Amino acid sequence: MMMMLMLSLLLLYTVAASVFRPLPKGTQHPIPQHNDGSAPDHVSPNLFASLERFSRLVDITYCVGTTGIVPPFSCVSRCDEFPTLDLVTTWNTGVLMSDSCGYIAIDHGAGPKSFTRSGRVNSREDTMDIKSRGAIIVAFRGTYSITNTVVDLSTIPQEYVPYPSPDHGGSEPPREPKYTCHNCTVHMGFLTSWEMARTIVLPALEPLRKRYPDYPIYLVGHSLGGAVAALAALELKVISGWDKMIVTTFGEPRVGNDGFVEYLNSVFELGGEEKPIEARMFRRVTHVDDPVPSLPLSEWGYKSHAGEFFISKSDLPPGPSDIRACAGNHDPRCIAGSAGEPLKRTGQILAEEKMQDTPVWTGGLWDIPSRFKLWQLFFAHRDYFWRLGLCVPGGDPIDWGRDKYPNYTNGDEL
């Protein structure tokens, strides 16, 4: 309780200082450019079904460290909804603020329809096809102490240097990374969590890669697990060379600074003119009332990366029309607008667009900014398709009695 009070006061002070600071005379803010072809107002039914499916997979991670997951793939929560999965391993590094929990599983009946030889996802609308091929799933659990994790460790950014490629033995030199991270720092707690998990995750993945060379790898995570999934995905793609990859995070906090964001956007081709949304390799799902995607604060040097998919509906359940793909790192029609960060800049952008008769999204903008809504750490931060984070039959009791989402994939698993 004391920690929540301290965080509230700190947030109020910091944001008040930034929001009510007078703008310099003549200050201009560019109007964000949006490509209607890459950022439509809502997602397709197939993409919605894919995101919803991953939300259930990441919800299962909360059984790790509590009631458990056992082979072949069984738990008291939603495991029976995935009969094509086989459990490989689980891990639980402890109960500290930087704890890491999760599981690795093989899905023998799901995966994207095709990848190009370069590893890029096929960009057709039917990329997420039914029963097309297998996949390797790595799922990272969130933490029940996300507030403490963000506040207690966010003031100590850690230099980010991706691990060198493993020693292949003999005279073969280490593989030179294609991407380099310049002037990058990341949240120390998030990096520590991945460092603890990687000693278990990487050794478990290598034999799977040899046994299933054609399987793509799916990384999913909620909350702290989303940040860890991002760091894991970077290492697997840049250092270990896993090209066939899709990353999906829910309520992911800000991981690092501008340099880190530029690096991640480059690796996953999220910067500049973005790919069609069906072809994105990194999907960062946010919720209109969730404060965590706006933390740690930008005033502390942390930034959001691109690839955002924004749930604009406050209550459960959302539908495809409630989710939009966002453009760039700070789309004012997405979490950046609902976060009120800062209100003056966002308001001026909207005013300029209004003068040009450009439609704007304003839902929730002038209400309490989402990053002030600390009570939502227990509600909206968990409201990603389902109420996540409680390993009991049927998930959180709020979901009991709810039918499954309409199956947009003609009656089969993705």
pLDDT score at 253: 93
pLDDT band for position 146 (cuts 50, 70, 90):
low
pLDDT score at 133: 73
pLDDT score at 373: 59
Max mean pLDDT among 186-190, 302-306, 352-356, 392-396 falls in 302-306
Query: What is this structure's pTM?
Result: 0.78
Q: Is the model's pLDDT at 356 over the cut of 60?
A: no
Q: With residue 71 as reference, give the H or E element that holds it.
A: none
pLDDT band for position 11 (cuts 50, 70, 90):
very low
pLDDT band for position 414 (cuts 50, 70, 90):
very low
> Average of pLDDT values for 105-129?
52
> Average of pLDDT values for 373-396?
81
Among 107, 290, 383, 399, the one annotated catalytic: 290
223 belongs to the catalytic site: yes
- Site of tokens 């086989």: 86
Q: Is the model's pLDDT at 154 over the cut of 90?
A: no
Rounded distance between C-alpha atoms, residue 261 and residue 243, angstroms: 19
By the 8 A CB rule, do 101 and 64 touch?
yes
331 belongs to the catalytic site: no
User: What are the strands, taking DSSP E only, across 223-304?
Assistant: 245-250, 282-287
Cβ neighbours of 290 (radius 10 Å):
30
290 belongs to the catalytic site: yes
By the 8 A CB rule, do 75 and 67 touch?
yes
pLDDT score at 35: 39
pLDDT score at 271: 72
Q: What is the pLDDT of residues 22-57, one digit of tens each?
A: 333 333 333 333 333 445 678 999 999 999 999 999
pLDDT score at 96: 61
pLDDT score at 300: 84
Among 381, 383, 396, 399, the one annotated catalytic: 381
Q: Is the model's pLDDT at 367 over the cut of 80?
A: no
pLDDT score at 18: 38
**CB burial string 366-401: b at 16+ within 10 A, e below:** eeebbbbbbebbebbbbbbbbbbbbbeeebbeebee
Question: Greater confidence, 149 or 49?
Answer: 49
For the chain, the average pLDDT equals 76
| Least confident segment among 73-82, 268-277, 306-315, 389-398 | 268-277
Among 46, 25, 54, 352, smallest CA distance to 220 is for: 54
| Least confident segment among 25-34, 44-53, 204-213, 355-364 | 25-34
pLDDT score at 363: 45
Among 44, 77, 223, 298, the one annotated catalytic: 223
Cβ neighbours of 144 (radius 10 Å):
17
pLDDT score at 82: 94
Question: Greater confidence, 374 or 262?
Answer: 262
